[in-house]
Structure 1
Amino acid sequence: MRRALLAITGLAAGTTAMVVLKGSPGAAPVAQDLPAERPTVVPAPAGPTPSGGDTAGTPQPADSTASPRPGRTATRAPTSRPSATTRAPSAPRTTTKPPPAPTTRTVTGPVVENEYGNVQVQITLSGTRIVDVVALELPEETAQSDQRSEQVDGRYSGSSGLVVQRQSADVDTVSGATATSTSYKRSLQAAIDRAN
């Protein structure tokens, strides 16, 4: 029984293979689709080619310089394409550092004398900007000179005084305290000159 089953299976497999290979009766062979970029190459004949005769039936070698026949494409030399992973060189990275914080420094002007006493001014700078002014010495010999000194100091000195607002020694003279104002401006201008 096993033998009979094996024989039937073998016969069925053989018949199926023949039908597939041969195709159904009356069916035309199916043409294979060849890629358009690869023309069919016909090998050169092994023997000498007939001379002067009809060569229509004789296969001819493919000529890459001849123009392609209708229905065929010319053979092209492969072109080099950049790789998908090839990248153009990128620009170098530049890092921008924040500007350094301005340094704070103090500069002291000289002592300037007048008939009421001595005047000396000190300025504080952040970078090149005046941020504060202090009178280190002002006349205080009498009550009147002390009062005039307070007026000058109140108008010019401090972080919100006229000197910081104008960033120079070009400030208006305090009325009634001309000598002290003049001495203050001279010491201030000398401190500004030293700072530069």
Structure 2
Amino acid sequence: MRRALLAITGLAASTTALVVFKAAPGTGQLAREVPAPAPTAAGKAEPAAGPDRKTPSGSPKPTRSAAGASRSASSAAPKRPAASPTGTAAAQPSASTIVGPVATNEFGEVQVRITVVGDRIVNAAALRLPRRTAQSDQRSDQVDSRYSGTVGMVVERQSADLDTITGATATSDSYRGSLQAAIDQAR
């Protein structure tokens, strides 16, 4: 009985420690990003401290030694984003929302909206689906749940090449038609 109690207590303690260390501030993905260099009184930019610093190649950033402290101001200056051909700083890709045309079938209308960041589809949503009867409502829900969302088949496959939903062939075809037109507009 005593051994079982010790085993359970040890398991609970190790699990708690694991959760605490995993959830500790500064260990999450966002916390590992390197902060921007802060200017010092001398006007030079000092790199942020931290053992998790990485170079763009992914290798650990070497620490600064006393010998390296005398390097020139030009090499210590913060890096600027590369300029685009128009002369402006390169911008992060922004999200675009594209609405496909309404595709009509014998059960009703289907219309799809996609959200694209860069050249990736990050979300898909059905704006219109057939809802005339309980059966068409049920089948529309099946199509919507399989295709739409941030983890749906559209985002997974990054195309309109989707599996047909059994029993909802017309709605599936209309969804793919509106989706393909939206994808074509995005590119």
Q: CA deviation at 1:100?
A: 2.6
Say which one has the larger Rg.
1
The percent identity for this pair of structures is: 59
Q: CA deviation at 1:128?
A: 1.2
TM score, norm. by length of structure 2: 0.53
C-alpha distance in 1 between matches for 2:104 and 2:95: 29
1:1-196 maps to which residues of 2 (within 5 A)? Answer: 95-97=79-81, 100-196=91-187
Secondary structure of 1:190's partner? helix
Q: CA deviation at 1:101?
A: 1.7
C-alpha distance in 2 between matches for 1:154 and 1:94: 47
Q: Which runs of 5+ in 2 are unaligned?
A: 1-73, 83-89
C-alpha distance in 2 between matches for 1:176 and 1:147: 10
Aligned positions, number: 106
Secondary structure of 2:159's partner? coil
Per-residue CA deviation, residues 21-56 of structure 1 (Å, 9 max, x unaligned), is xxxxxxxxxxxxxxxxxxxxxxxxxxxxxxxxxxxx
C-alpha distance in 1 between matches for 2:116 and 2:80: 26
4+ long deviations beyond 6 Å: none
User: Which structure: greater helix fraction?
Assistant: 2
C-alpha distance in 2 between matches for 1:137 and 1:170: 20
Query: How well do the aligned residues superpose, as a CA RMSD in angstroms?
Result: 2.0
Q: Which runs of 5+ in 1 are unaligned?
A: 1-89
Secondary structure of 1:169's partner? coil
